[in-house]
């Protein structure tokens, strides 16, 4: 395995100690456990997982799968746990949910990622500082909590956008409102898509009660799962609010269109008889009244003006304008 494939690895006993990829061939500490974190885009990491990690074949393929959804699979050999989190690194796409795949067995945790996650980075820095979760159960709880808290921050950002639209959206151009609603929808869809299975995965893990998860850790993990449930409900509420805003926008555009069509219809109604009269006087045949009278043009204009005023008065009387 190359150095690029191994993101980090630690033996955790009394104090965490970082290890190199050469040390991965040795067994984990007898009174502790080992965490191995790999970059799954590196060919040497793929080779290690498939041929050198001593993982079951189906587990190795699940860890290396290109497309995954959050899930939890319990087997006699260990626990396969796949979670998702938002990526808040400055250079990352804040709307992309990236996966972290974990295999948990007695004395060892193997995790794989494609891009960096702040929740994992927090744990790595804690171990480098000589702190961090002491047990596998604490590790999983801290990871799930870190992922969930950052999802909460992303959801709160969306909520603030919708609040702003509800307060000031009526004063914005329709095109701006439409763009912002599309952006909100683009952010909520992946969150809603992956939060529901993540809620189920955490629920399955709690219900399975693996040996490495004690009662206190189960209680903490249940709090995280409850928070995920609340976030799912918040996302549903945000989608409904965005839908109401979209409906209001559609009504606003429809009203503007109807108003414009109504104005055009009134204008056409005013000019239709005037156009008929001028067209009738403009036919190229003999016998047009006033053809030889110098004042006929002004008389016709006065008559047309009177007709127009009469029509407008009629429309006002009918309360059409």
Query: Using one digit for the tens of pLDDT, what is the confidence trace for 248-302?
Result: 777 777 888 888 888 888 888 888 888 887 777 777 666 677 667 777 778 888 8
Q: Two tokens at 321? A: 């304008």
d(CA 254, CA 248): 10
What residues contact residue 138 under an 8 Å CB cut-off, 6+ apart? 217
Straight-line distance from the first to the last Cα atom of the chain, in angstroms, rounded to the nearest whole number:
81
10-residue mean pLDDT profile of the chain (321 residues): values are 81 90 85 93 92 91 91 93 80 69 95 91 94 94 93 88 79 75 84 88 93 94 94 89 81 82 84 80 69 75 85 82 75
Q: Specify the DSSP class assigned to residue 209.
A: -
CA distance 38 to 282: 88
Give me the pLDDT at residue 211, please. 92
pLDDT of residue 170: 62
**What SS3 state is found at 72?**
strand
**How is domain 6-251 classified at the CATH fold level?**
Beta Polymerase; domain 2 (3.30.460)
The 3-state DSSP class for residue 33 equals strand
Angle at 116 between CA 98 and CA 15, to 5 degrees: 120
| Residue 169 backbone phi and psi in degrees, to 5 | -60, -30
- For residue 210, which of 122, 135, 145 has the smallest C-alpha distance? 135
Q: Answer whether 10's CB lies under 8 Å from 29's CB.
A: no
Say what the pLDDT of residue 177 is: 79
Residue 110: what pLDDT?
96
């Amino acid at each position: 395995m190359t150095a690029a494939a191994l993101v980090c690895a630690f033996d955790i006993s009394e104090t965490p100690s970082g290890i190199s990829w050469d040390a991965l061939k040795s067994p984990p500490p007898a009174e502790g456990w080992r965490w191995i974190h790999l970059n799954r885009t590196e060919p040497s990491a793929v080779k290690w997982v498939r041929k050198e990690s001593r993982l079951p074949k189906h587990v190795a393929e699940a860890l290396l799968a290109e497309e995954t959804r959050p899930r939890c699979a319990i087997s006699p050999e260990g626990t396969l746990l796949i979670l998702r989190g938002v990526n808040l690194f400055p250079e990352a796409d804040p709307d992309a949910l990236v996966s972290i795949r974990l295999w948990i067995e007695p004395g060892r945790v193997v995790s794989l990622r494609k891009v960096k996650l702040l929740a994992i980075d927090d744990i790595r820095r804690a171990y480098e500082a000589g702190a961090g979760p002491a047990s596998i159960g604490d590790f999983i709880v801290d990871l799930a909590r870190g992922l969930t808290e950052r999802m909460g921050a992303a959801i709160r950002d969306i909520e603030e956008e919708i609040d702003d639209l509800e307060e000031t959206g009526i004063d914005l151009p329709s095109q701006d409102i439409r763009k912002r609603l599309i952006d909100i929808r683009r952010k909520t869809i992946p969150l809603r898509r992956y939060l529901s299975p993540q809620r189920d995965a955490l629920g399955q893990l709690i219900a399975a009660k693996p040996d490495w998860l004690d009662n206190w850790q189960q209680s903490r993990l249940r709090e995280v799962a409850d928070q995920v449930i609340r976030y799912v409900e918040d996302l549903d509420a945000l989608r409904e609010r965005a839908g109401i805003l979209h409906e209001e926008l559609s009504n606003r555009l429809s009203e503007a269109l109807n108003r414009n069509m109504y104005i055009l219809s009134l204008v056409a109604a005013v000019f239709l008889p005037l156009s008929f009269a001028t067209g009738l006087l403009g036919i190229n045949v003999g016998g047009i009244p006033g053809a030889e009278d110098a004042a006929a043009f002004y008389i016709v204009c006065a008559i047309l003006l009177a007709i127009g005023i009469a029509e407008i008065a009629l429309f006002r009387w009918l309360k059409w304008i």
